[in-house]
Amino acid sequence: MVGARDPGWRAFAGAGRLTDILAGQPADERLLAEIYDLEHDEIVEDLHFYREWAARQPGDVIDLGCGSGRLFAPFLAGGARRILGIDGSPAMLERAEQRVAGDEGLRAAHAEGRIELAAGDVRSVERPERYALAVLAGVLSHLDGPAEARDALAAAGRLLDPGGALIVDLLGPGGLPPGDLPMSVDWTRTVGGRRIVRRSLLERQTDSDALRVTYDTLTDLQEADGTITRLPARFRLWYPSPTALFTLANEAGLGVDATYGSHDLDPLDGGSDRCIAVMRRSTAIPGRG
Ligand SMILES: C[S@@+](CC[C@H](N)C(=O)[O-])C[C@H]1O[C@@H](n2cnc3c(N)ncnc32)[C@H](O)[C@@H]1O
């Protein structure tokens, strides 16, 4: 069972499309992106899965909602010919650039023109080239429900070459927060001389085929001289049931080829921590000329 403050549900949930969701709030996107990396770089349990899929789908990879490029190294290790990372947040793309510059293998691939980053919206992304593998990892939950998710799935489908696969990776039914959580401390860390305290509050709203979560975070960064920078942020997250996701995929012109309940390929069921679907184009893709 996933505990109330277990990172299981929090994995992939902590950063949304920062430019949109922080509207009007006195927050620093760059600092939030830094905190995001601090939390998410610890997630490594899915890396072997993405390395394996890059090997299974030889060719080019498009990482839709790539964040700070956490998955680039496994794609390369799996033999990706070229990687395009797309994200809607300039601050996350900046973190991705820093990751590429700071890693020897990624830096060499970038110098050879094998890694590219671009700003874009996964709901409407268009590219002239086609991909063997497209990935939406932890991204659909940041969209505002089924219509936007259908748009993102259709856009991803249009990017696939005829043998291409789209992997959609979300929290599964067993990984979702089981109840509301009052404001309380998630973690405290000291990084680069700064003491960081992260608190959050979570409210759930269920309907028959999805869970909506409002997730308010309050991050305090205490400098060595005692001054505190407080970063408030609000994320609205949406988690479709597996059945709802598969219906949306069909409506977007995609067939579901395989499903998994974990990155170790456990079967997907009502207790699964992850909901992972491998989708392929059906014959007719809506919006494709
Ligand atoms: C939880 S992170 C996942 C990052 C990465 N896929 C990973 O697994 O580490 C979600 C990412 O999706 C991006 N995102 C959310 N909505 C988006 C949109 N409409 N268009 C482009 N990127 C979006 C966010 O900026 C964020 O970087």
pLDDT, tens digit, 9 for 90 and up, residues 80-122: 999 999 999 999 999 999 999 999 999 999 999 999 999 999 9
Distances in whole angstroms, Cα of residue 88 to Cα of each of 55, 63, 239, 289: 27, 12, 20, 26
Ligand 1: residue of 17, 40, 66, 141 to mutate (most ligand atoms within 8 A of CB) is: 17
pLDDT, tens digit, for every residue of 67-77?
999 999 999 99
- pTM, two decimals, is 0.89
In this predicted structure, the answer to whether residue 287 has a pLDDT above a threshold of 90 is: no
Report the atom number in ligand 1 closest to the C-alpha of 12: 1
In this predicted structure, the answer to whether residue 195 has a pLDDT above a threshold of 90 is: yes
> Residue 288 — very low, low, confident or very high, per pLDDT cuts 50/70/90?
very low
Considering only CA atoms, which residue is closest to atom 20 of ligand 1?
A: 121
> 3-class SS at 204?
strand
Q: Mean pLDDT across the stretch 167-171?
A: 97
Distances in whole angstroms, Cα of residue 22 to Cα of each of 123, 137, 196: 19, 21, 20
Ligand 1: residue of 39, 87, 263 to mutate (most ligand atoms within 8 A of CB) is: 87
In this predicted structure, the answer to whether residue 184 has a pLDDT above a threshold of 50 is: yes
Ligand 1: residue of 86, 139, 140 to mutate (most ligand atoms within 8 A of CB) is: 139
141 secondary structure, DSSP code? G
More confident position, 254 or 40: 254
Q: What percent of the chain lies above the pLDDT cut of 70? A: 88
Q: Mean pLDDT across the stretch 57-65?
A: 98
User: Percent helix, strand and coil across the chain, each rounded to 5?
Assistant: 30, 35, 35
> Residue 207 — very low, low, confident or very high, per pLDDT cuts 50/70/90?
confident
pLDDT of the residue at 27? 55
Report the atom number in ligand 1 closest to the C-alpha of 120: 21
Q: Ligand 1 centre from 47 Cα, in Å?
A: 17
Q: Choose among 171, 172, 167, 170: nearest CA to 63.
A: 167
pLDDT, tens digit, for every residue of 120-141?
999 999 999 999 999 999 999 9
